[in-house]
Amino acid sequence: MALLEVRDLRTSFFTDAGEVKAVNGVSFNLDRGKTLGIVGESGSGKSVTVYSIMQILAPTGKIVGGSVKLDGQELVGAGEKVMRDVRGNKISIIFQDPMTSLNPTYTIGHQLIEAITLHTNRNKQEAWDRAVEMLKLVNVNEPEKRMKQYPHEFSGGMRQRVMIAMALACEPDILIADEPTTALDVTIQAQILELMQKLQQEMGMAIIMITHDLGVVAQMCDEIVVMYAGSYCERGTAEEIFYNPRHEYTKGLLRSIPTLDTMGQKLHPITGTPIDLLNLPEGCPFAPRCDNAMKICIREAPHSMDINENHKASCWMNVKAQLAEAEAGVTAAEAAAPADPQEGGEA
Amino acid sequence: MADATTETPLVDVRHLKEYFPVNTGFFKQTPLKAVDDVSFTIRRGETLGLVGESGCGKTTVGRTILHLYEPTAGEVIYDGKPIKTKEDLKAFRTKTTMVFQDPYSSLNPRMTVADIVGEPLDVHHMYSSKEEREEKILALMDRVGLNSEHANRYAHEFSGGQRQRIGIARALAVNPEFIVCDEPVSALDVSIQAQVINMFDELQDEFGLTYLFIAHDLLVVRHVSDRIAVMYLGKLVELASADEIYDHPLHPYTKSLISAVPIPDPRIARANKRIPLQGDIPSPLNAPSGCPFRTRCPYAKEGCAGTMPELDEVSPDHFVACHRVEEINS
């Protein structure tokens, strides 16, 4: 059994302008000790997905469907008491901006000890020792001295280390990292990513890594979920997603980033602008920007299709490809003619 | 490229310094050396990439070249002419502009798109009639892929990518030769970044523009730049062609920086050997003596604390500022 099972999760925000379907049917599994990457552009629902798992949504947000199972225990509708035990203890989170996620009016030590005493039975002295131990673990020099300092005395990379120390102090099963290195410089980013990998090996926790940086995902993640406009386009192992993308959005994304080989060449951007979540189209949300959109893409949202055992994608192009393959088996002449994608939709 | 070195560079930056006074105590001020003795040239029609970590002074270099900040010392020679009088500066400003990092805060929320794009035309009196102004504005908007129906809308009605297009249209209004692009794509989504990068490319071909392209995303910089300059703590540490910087970095900081770039390809990324750097960047208020990088440098020796290494040409068109460059790379 997977450590975390998310099935068809749906979260909406009820605003004055209408219902915003921020997460619209996301499913994935996470195994112990593995790293899952959630990739997508801003507004794709990647942060809301993990906020829904932890149930730390803004007051207007509500989980409207689906299930989140941690170790077999259902969390959706489980109530605040259960969730308080889950947060920090079993699942903890580090946020994007280390500048604003620490309280500037308390010392680092105070904040670490608060997190530790809240979740364990340690007394103050034991909590202090544990906090120092955690700071040592994340490579903060002179931890005893640092405990008495305030967040403004720390650099960005150091603050992110403190956040990681705080998140890991209660040895959670799952660490959620919401764009943990976006605000940091590349050399500091490399330090933090390396630290996370090292700690994962030592403590054996699973990591959910949210990012828009495909380079970070390639380096860190075993499995990847690609999101667009609240739905997942594709999920699979890192190798499958990078070398065998089967959704037009993933393909476009991979084509549009500069790599070592694109020097002096034109990039291939995805045309158009990101979608308005208040007015989601009826069919595939990516269809308005997709170069290969077919009739069915505009009419009907694609369901999740199995590409192979490690790879699922929600794109009608896969049905088209399957049909073309099947037809190629019947007669070569028919295979030359384009397969009718509408048949695929009903199949 | 051979004759490119002999012709007059478009922008010649000589010993540029920019110090900001910072109050460090009662009646006590310490200069923050944001840019400390930086010299380089930009050739006509090329893109010079400027990279470095936050706080290294790359944005200040861009702004000081355009004289948005008065240089503390040193000079900028544009097209063979130094900028001395007010008239020089005014003429200089009709040939140079800037595209800013944040498309959200660099557009006035109370102005319509037409007025934002038209403001440089107003300032430099670049039209003779209202009709001509409007014509020019619409032509500019059309060039960056905005419709004429967008002209009377306000900035908040646009997405990040479209806002950056408005910023680019505004920069193009004065028919510039030289544009300082200060992190123009870092606030944009990946799928939109490529659109804007391609547009910079097309505009360069069309108008023969010269860019100073400031960014911290090294893959983007490598993609757009002909040559790349690397900054650390207000100083230039390495300058060479984009290929040379990536394939044969000589300065230990550049080596580490390049090895830290996450490559969007799982097999390469996992095989990649990183050269880790210890610690953080020192405060520019309290910069180390001698070589600024020595506190984090894996090769630092006692001699490095003495003097600041000069930016030497170690191979044709490859400049490095490191005392031990030969020992490290032999």
pLDDT in tens, B174-194: 999 999 999 998 888 888 889
- Is B231 among the domain residues? yes
Helix (H), strand (E), coil (C) string for chain A: CCCEEEEEEEEEEEECCEEEEEEEEEEEEECCCCEEEEECCCCCCHHHHHHHHHCCCCCCEEEEEEEEEECCEECCCCCHHHHHHHECCCEEEECCCCCCCCCCCCCHHHHHHHHHHHHCCCCHHHHHHHHHHHHHHCCCCCHHHHHCCCHHHCCHHHHHHHHHHHHHCCCCCEEEEECCCCCCCHHHHHHHHHHHHHHHHHHCCEEEEEECCHHHHHHHCCEEEEEECCEEEEEEEHHHHHHCCCCHHHHHHHHHCCCCCCCCCCCCCCCCCCCCHHHCCCCCCCHHHCCCCCHHHHHCCCCCEEEECCEEECCHHHHHHHHHHHHHHHCHHHHHCCCCHHHHHHC
Q: Which residues contact A320 (CB under 8 A, 6 or more apart)?
A: A294, A338, A339, A341, A344
What is the number of domains present in chain B?
Answer: 2
pLDDT over 70 (residue B27): yes
The residue with tokens 């990516």 is: A286
| Residues on chain B touching A252 (C-beta within 8 angstroms) | 191
**What pLDDT is attached to residue A263?**
66
Model confidence band, residue B49 (pLDDT cutoffs 50, 70, 90): very high
- Is B101 among the domain residues? no
Q: What span, in angstroms and rounded, lies between the C-alpha atoms of A120 and A122?
A: 6
Short-list A187, A217, A161, A221, CA closest to B275:
A187
Q: Is the pTM of this model over 0.95?
A: no
The answer to whether the CB atoms of B260 and A214 lie below 8 A apart is no
The residue with tokens 């959670």 is: A172
Q: What span, in angstroms and rounded, lies between the C-alpha atoms of B266 and A220?
A: 8
Q: CA angle B282-B286-B287, nearest 5°?
A: 60
Mean pLDDT of B108-118: 94
Q: What span, in angstroms and rounded, lies between the C-alpha atoms of B160 and A58?
A: 24
The answer to whether the CB atoms of A270 and B194 lie below 8 A apart is yes
A263 interface with B at CB cutoff 8 Å: yes
Are residues B57 and B151 located together in one domain of the fold? no
B140: tokens are: 């500019």
Mean pLDDT of B163-182: 94
**What pLDDT is attached to residue A222?**
95
**What pLDDT is attached to residue A332?**
54
pLDDT digits (tens, 9 = 90+) for A133-190: 999 888 888 899 999 999 988 888 888 889 999 998 888 999 999 988 887 888 888 8
The stretches of chain B forming alpha helices (DSSP H) are 58-65, 86-93, 113-123, 130-143, 160-172, 190-207, 218-224, 242-247, 252-260, 266-271, 325-329
Q: What span, in angstroms and rounded, lies between the C-alpha atoms of A17 and A302?
A: 27
> How do strand B47-51 and strand B210-214 relate by DSSP bridges?
parallel
Boundary-marking domain end, from B153, B175, B197: B175
CA distances to B8, B24, B124, B193, B207 from A268, in Å = 35, 50, 37, 10, 22
Between residues B185 and A333, the one the model is more confident about? B185
Are residues B130 and B48 located together in one domain of the fold? no
Model confidence band, residue A246 (pLDDT cutoffs 50, 70, 90): very high
Residues in chain B: 330
B276 interface with A at CB cutoff 8 Å: yes
Boundary-marking domain end, from B131, B157, B175: B175
Residues in chain A: 347
| Residues on chain B touching A41 (C-beta within 8 angstroms) | 189-192
Q: Identify the bridge partners of residue A58 per DSSP, sorted by sequence position.
A: none
Q: What span, in angstroms and rounded, lies between the C-alpha atoms of B314 and B311?
A: 9
- Is B80 among the domain residues? yes
pLDDT digits (tens, 9 = 90+) for A44-63: 899 999 999 999 999 999 99
Q: What span, in angstroms and rounded, lies between the C-alpha atoms of A175 and A158?
A: 18
- The three-state secondary structure class of B104 is coil
Mean pLDDT of B21-50: 91
Are residues B266 and B184 located together in one domain of the fold? yes
pLDDT digits (tens, 9 = 90+) for B263-301: 889 998 888 888 888 777 888 888 888 999 999 998 988
Are residues B84 and B188 located together in one domain of the fold? yes
Taking CA–CA distances from A188, the nearest residue in chain B reads B280
As a whole-number percent, the residues of chain A with pLDDT over 90 amount to 54
B134: tokens are: 């409007």
What is the sign, positive or negative, of the torsion defined by CA atoms of A240, A245, A249, A252? positive
Residue B260 is nearest to which of A189, A217, A239, comparing CB atoms?
A189
Burial label, A72 (beta-carbon count in 10 A; 0-12, 13-18, 19+): exposed
Strand locations in chain A (E): 4-15, 18-30, 35-39, 61-70, 73-74, 91-94, 174-178, 206-211, 223-228, 231-237, 305-308, 311-313
CB B226 within 8 A of CB B47: yes
Full domain range(s) for residue B169: 110-175
How close does chain A come to B6, measured CA to CA in Å?
A: 24
Taking CA–CA distances from B189, the nearest residue in chain A reads A41
Summary mean pLDDT of chain A: 88
**What pLDDT is attached to residue A17?**
86
Neighbours of A60 (CB within 10 A): 11
**What pLDDT is attached to residue B6?**
61
- In the Cβ-directed half-sphere of B56, how many Cα atoms lie within 13 Å? 23
Are residues B271 and B197 located together in one domain of the fold? yes
Q: CA angle A42-A47-A50, nearest 5°?
A: 160
A194 interface with B at CB cutoff 8 Å: yes
pLDDT digits (tens, 9 = 90+) for A81-133: 999 989 988 999 998 877 788 999 999 999 999 999 988 889 999 999 999 99
Are residues B202 and B299 located together in one domain of the fold? yes
- Is B324 among the domain residues? yes
pLDDT over 80 (residue A341): no
Are residues B67 and B18 located together in one domain of the fold? yes
DSSP structure class, residue B154:
B
CB B231 within 8 A of CB B64: no
End-to-end CA distance of chain B: 28
DSSP string, B11-23: EEEEEEEEEEEEE
pLDDT digits (tens, 9 = 90+) for B115-130: 999 999 999 999 999 9
pLDDT digits (tens, 9 = 90+) for A264-294: 678 888 888 878 888 888 889 999 999 899 9
- Is B91 among the domain residues? yes
A11: tokens are: 């979260």
What is the CATH number for B289? 3.40.50.300
**What pLDDT is attached to residue A335?**
45
Q: CA angle B141-B145-B174, nearest 5°?
A: 35
Mean pLDDT of B301-326: 91
Nearest-Å Rg of the Cα atoms of chain A is 22
Burial label, B26 (beta-carbon count in 10 A; 0-12, 13-18, 19+): exposed
Are residues B223 and B140 located together in one domain of the fold? no
| Residues on chain B touching A262 (C-beta within 8 angstroms) | 223
Summary mean pLDDT of chain B: 90
The answer to whether the CB atoms of B266 and A218 lie below 8 A apart is yes
- Is B102 among the domain residues? no
- Is B186 among the domain residues? yes
**What pLDDT is attached to residue A344?**
42
Are residues B275 and B203 located together in one domain of the fold? yes
pLDDT over 70 (residue A342): no
In this structure, of A148-157, B47-56, B267-276, B302-311, the range with the lowest mean pLDDT score is B267-276
B105: tokens are: 């805060």
> How do strand B178-182 and strand B96-99 relate by DSSP bridges?
parallel
Q: CA angle B196-B202-B207, nearest 5°?
A: 125
- Is B4 among the domain residues? no
| Residues on chain A touching B198 (C-beta within 8 angstroms) | 266-267, 269
DSSP string, B310-330: P-EEEETTEEE--TTHHHHH-
pLDDT over 70 (residue B218): yes
Mean pLDDT of A315-320: 89
The answer to whether the CB atoms of A186 and B246 lie below 8 A apart is no
How close does chain B come to A229, measured CA to CA in Å?
A: 13
CA A343 to chain centre: 34
How close does chain B come to A253, measured CA to CA in Å?
A: 6
Q: Which residues contact B108 (CB under 8 A, 6 or more apart)?
A: B116, B155
DSSP structure class, residue A175:
E
Mutation choice for B interface testing from A185, A240, A244, A248 by most B CBs within 10 A? A185
Mutation choice for A interface testing from B146, B158, B189, B256 by most A CBs within 10 A? B189
Boundary-marking domain end, from B151, B175, B199: B175
B195 interface with A at CB cutoff 8 Å: yes
Are residues B73 and B193 located together in one domain of the fold? yes
Are residues B316 and B281 located together in one domain of the fold? yes
Q: Which residues contact B172 (CB under 8 A, 6 or more apart)?
A: B97, B140, B143, B144, B203, B207
pLDDT over 60 (residue B304): yes
Are residues B41 and B165 located together in one domain of the fold? no
